[in-house]
Amino acid sequence: MQDTQNNKGPLVSFILTYYNVPTDMLRRCLGSIFALSLSEEEREIILIDDGSDVSPISEISDYIDRIVYLRQKNGGLSVARNVGLDVAKGQYIQFVDTDDYLLRGPYSHCLDIVRYHNPDMVMFNATDKDDAEVPLTLPEPVDGATYMKHNNLRATAWGYIFRRKSLVDLRFTPGLVHEDEEFTPQLVLRCEKIYVTESEAYHYTTRDESITTKHGRKWKLKRLNDTEHILFHLQRVGESLPMEESKAMMRRVNQLTMDYIYNIIMLTRSLQNLEERIARLEKKGLFPLPSNNYTKKYKVFSAISRTKAGRKILLYTLPMMKKEK
């Protein structure tokens, strides 16, 4: 039986990061959290304004007494999230991007698991619809290493609610593109009891201004360089772990390496760039990709990418990205 009701402090701290998001979206995000089945004592909302051009505080005056609002110099998503983690008092943490929002029914299913089953983490799915159904079944819990050994990990940090104590000293690395890819695998391996639900509990919104929609050359190169940094870091972490956890981490590293090679092709369309980056992977022992049967896509891609001729085929046959304006 769970022990959350006997512990002091809020049940959940919601960490919201804000940077130049339309205030109607921010209000929608806040409203979705206040609509959840949580009392004032169970809920903590921390809004980190990461140096937006104009503070949204005048537009959310009716909420301001019920949230923790912090405004800081622009430092990026990782810095903002880390500030939230340092401030949070909740037993559990939920990250929410302020252009997105939570869906009451499916998310309440996840909260029920938190309340009554004492998990370290509850995973859920995202959707672009508002009428997501609530699952009627409860999945069997699994430890982090077992999950990562047998599944493709969804790394987005808003895709799960997790126990704050599981973090220990883990934080996001400032300045990285897709910093979740480095953070989430390490967090999952620290969790002994994970519930992987089918709840479509998070409404994800795609905006033209979003960081995930940038396509400039400078950003593309930074994304690739940051992914390489993450790969090498996770590899080092994996080498220091016990055997089963190391196997789990290396599956994630191998899959992320496949994605990295794919993105080199898609973002640069340069054989020279591809071969230079492949050489660095090979030097670190991350290439050729091991011929493990993780997924059909992985098995085919790892086989084709092993030779230079195969990589040329990938370079000229993979779908082209839309040309920049």
Amino acid letter for position 277: R
Q: Is the pLDDT of residue 56 over 60?
A: yes
Considering only the top CATH level, what class is 4-203? Answer: alpha beta
What distance in Å separates the CA atoms of residue 191 and residue 119, rounded to the nearest whole number? 9
Q: CA–CA distance from 239 to each of 38, 77, 184, 234 (Å)?
A: 41, 28, 17, 9
Q: What is the pTM of this model?
A: 0.93
- Give pLDDT tens digits for 168-210: 999 999 999 999 999 999 999 999 999 999 999 999 998 665 5
Order of strands across the sheet with 194-203? 68-72, 43-50, 12-18, 92-97, 160-163, 121-127, 194-203, 101-102
- Give pLDDT tens digits for 22-50: 999 999 999 999 999 999 999 999 999 99
Q: What is the DSSP letter of 195?
A: E
Closest CA relative to residue 77, chosen from 97, 59, 91: 97
Q: Is the pLDDT of residue 213 over 60?
A: no
Question: How does strand 121-127 pair with strand 194-203?
Answer: parallel
Average of per-residue pLDDT values in the chain: 93
Q: What is the DSSP letter of 3?
A: -
Closest CA relative to residue 208, chosen from 99, 75, 59, 98: 99
Token output for 74: 């622009």
What's the mean pLDDT in 101-117? 97
Confidence of residue 321 (pLDDT cuts 50, 70, 90): very low
Main-chain dihedrals φ then ψ at residue 142, nearest 5 degrees: -145, 150
Domain boundaries, the chain: 4-203, 214-317
- Residue 288, preceding peptide bond in cis (omega within 30° of 0): yes
Q: What pLDDT, on a 0 to 100 scale, did the predictor assign at position 320?
A: 58
Main-chain dihedrals φ then ψ at residue 164, nearest 5 degrees: -60, -35
